[in-house]
Amino acid sequence: MEQMSVLKQCVNALLHGVGRVVDAIFPPRCIISGAIVSAPGQLDPGAWAGLSFIAPPFCRTCGMPFPFTSEGVDDLQCAACLDDPPPFTTARAAVVYDDASRGVILKFKHADHLHAVPVLVPWMMRAGAELWTDADVLVPVPLHRWRLMRRRYNQAALLAHGVAKASGLPCLADGLIRHRATESQGHKRAAERRANVKGAFTVNPRHASAVRGKNVVLIDDVFTTGATVRECAQTLLNAGAARVDVVAVARVSRE
């Protein structure tokens, strides 16, 4: 036993030494600016200062930040949610999708910058802090199989796995299926986005019982108009989910 303990200490020391050598040759860099930082996952001060982290006041339903202060008033809803209540109960996002955050999210989504996941997940954990206690299961927004083959990974699923590890919640990576290929949502208006994804999702029959009667948290990278998460949430509710909430890395802020 003593020999095993000594061997374990030697292996750990060797791995630590190798890690220091690797860091010296390939130092950790900020995922936004590319500047060298002291540890993986850190941002340089300029990049951090440029991000717009979402904080109250915001819509209690969709999480859209309001361009004003509201001392002592937390239970506010935006006009869009009042006019057309979404099927999900609550949506939260960590940062505003703007010039400062767009680059890192697009590189993560389209350019294999998977090392962004350990940075983005803690942001999501803070943004969705009010939801994790009552949540039962995580489900990422799915890609159609053809798009998944081209991209080789589903960015929402990677985020969901990261949140699952951080929260201890189970993750159904294929809980939803995108059974119909849809056009890119980019450059489409809100009504066009809704029409584009209408009927595009279904609950995976293998996971129907894991969703039925459960509080589900949908995971996505960007909340734009909410068309995709609305359709996903309605699909889950139709399959018997008790409640659906949404947590994303970023969301577009309507001016």
Over the stretch 157-177, which tens digit does the pLDDT of each residue have? 999 999 999 999 999 999 999
Residue 111 has pLDDT above 60, yes or no: yes
CA neighbor of 248 nearest in space, from 155, 185, 166? 155
166 versus 149: which is more confidently predicted? 166
Residue 121: closest CA among 147, 153, 157, 174 = 157
- Overall average pLDDT of the 238-247 stretch: 98
For residue 13, what pLDDT is reported? Answer: 56
Residue percentage of the chain with pLDDT more than 90: 56
pLDDT greater than 60 at residue 10:
no
Question: When comparing pLDDT for 18 and 91, which is higher?
Answer: 91
The neighbouring-strand residues paired with 176 are 203
| 110: CB partners within 8 A, 6+ apart | 151
Is the peptide bond prior to 57 cis by the omega test (within 30 degrees of 0)?
A: yes
* Alpha carbon distance, N-terminus to C-terminus of the chain: 65
Looking at the domain 43-50+85-251, which fold is it? Rossmann fold (3.40.50)
pTM, 2 dp = 0.85
Reported confidence tier of residue 19, pLDDT bands at 50, 70, 90: very low
**Average pLDDT rounded to a whole number, residues 49-72:** 87
Residues in the chain: 255
Q: E strands along 19-155, which residues?
A: 90-96, 137-140
pLDDT interval class at 209 (50, 70, 90): very high
Q: What is the per-residue pLDDT for 70?
A: 65
Instruction: Give SS3 for 156.
Output: helix
Give the residue-averaged pLDDT of 11-19: 53
CA angle 169, 171, 176 (to 5 degrees): 140
